[in-house]
Amino acid sequence: MVKVVVAGEAGTSVKESQAWFRITEAEIVGVADSLSSLREILQGTEVDIVDIGSLTDSADPWVTLATQAGKHILCAEGSVLGREGISLCDQHDIMLQFTNTLRFAPEYEQAHEQIKNGAIGKAGVIRIRRGAPASSQNADKCIFQVLGMREFDWLRWTFGEVERVMAREVKHTNEPGKIVHYALVMLRMANGAIAHVELSWAEGTEHTSFELTGDQGMIAHDSRESTPIRWSRGEQFLSTTFQGMDLMQRQREHFIRCVQKQEGSRLHSRDLLAALDIASAARESVRTGQPVKLMHGGDEG
């Protein structure tokens, strides 16, 4: 039985707690809504995992505190986490994963497997899109890091290293006073494929889509459609649906097995660093108007 502390600002960790309650191999031993309460729990309670929920500010102090206490860490998607916090986990041999990574999303996991098995042949043009509602809370946030990290990580995992980054963005305030933010990131992969990543804080609801083309086929997905994933090869057209798959629960069950050394981690801190560097390169490209050369190591398996 692994012992878990759910941490984060008050009222932001309900989904995390619900996911842990569904896992029989885990026990929630504390809920921390401040750094001081997390410190108190870590000092007086046996803990294996700290699950950090959404935060308004940087997650670095929370990650640093958990790392110094020797606890493995799950950190909410879109968290603002710098290189220092990620590197610190690596130095102390602490497992760190962002939650809701696309490596555990059924549609993206299936597409990854199909591509690795040669379903589309040699990859050509890759189009990925993530949209979310506009919000004044996003005014000072980096769209490439908060909204794009999962896509950047999945692209590396599936297609290999990124060689060059070019990005453009548009930001303005609409009539209700919300920040409308759109960005396009173009990635040249080391294998020659070109990836177009669209990120938008201007949508009515959150949605994702991808279209992955190669010289022998195509795989497509749109979260707004009833059939989650479609792929074609020649004249053959196939579709797949997924039933009863809970992304939050699946990743946490995997994380438990990693902590117990029953299997290897699917996502490593060096992969988070690589995704973070792609986001930083996109921001630099916007600033200079020029492409940024980039090449990183990590886990592509």
In order, the DSSP letters of 109-145 are HHHHHHHHTTTT-SEEEEEEEEEEE--GGGTTS-HHH
Structure confidence at residue 275 (pLDDT): 93
Domains within the chain, CATH numbers bracketed? 2-99 (3.40.50.720), 102-249+275-293 (3.30.360.10)
Give the alpha-carbon dihedral of 83, 88, 93, 97, to 10 degrees: -40
Percent of the chain clearing pLDDT 70 (strictly above): 88
- pLDDT at residue 12 is higher than 80: no
Structure confidence at residue 236 (pLDDT): 44
- pLDDT at residue 246 is higher than 80: no
pLDDT band at residue 227 under the 50/70/90 scheme: low
Structure confidence at residue 226 (pLDDT): 59
Q: What mean pLDDT is predicted for residues 89-112?
A: 90
Q: What mean pLDDT is predicted for residues 13-27?
A: 89
Q: What mean pLDDT is predicted for residues 254-268?
A: 93
Q: Is 27 helix (H, G, I), strand (E, B) or coil?
A: strand
pLDDT band at residue 203 under the 50/70/90 scheme: confident
> 142: Cβ–Cβ under 8 A, 6 or more apart, which residues?
80, 279, 283
Residue 131 near residue 200, CB atoms below 8 Å: yes
Q: Which of 23-32, 82-91, 160-169 has the lowest mean pLDDT?
A: 82-91
Q: Is 34 helix (H, G, I), strand (E, B) or coil?
A: coil
The pTM of this model reads 0.86
Percent of the chain clearing pLDDT 90 (strictly above): 59
Structure confidence at residue 21 (pLDDT): 92
Structure confidence at residue 242 (pLDDT): 44
Structure confidence at residue 299 (pLDDT): 53
For 292, list phi and psi in degrees, rounded to 5.
Answer: -115, 125
Q: How many CB atoms lie within 10 A of CB 14?
A: 11
DSSP state of 103: G
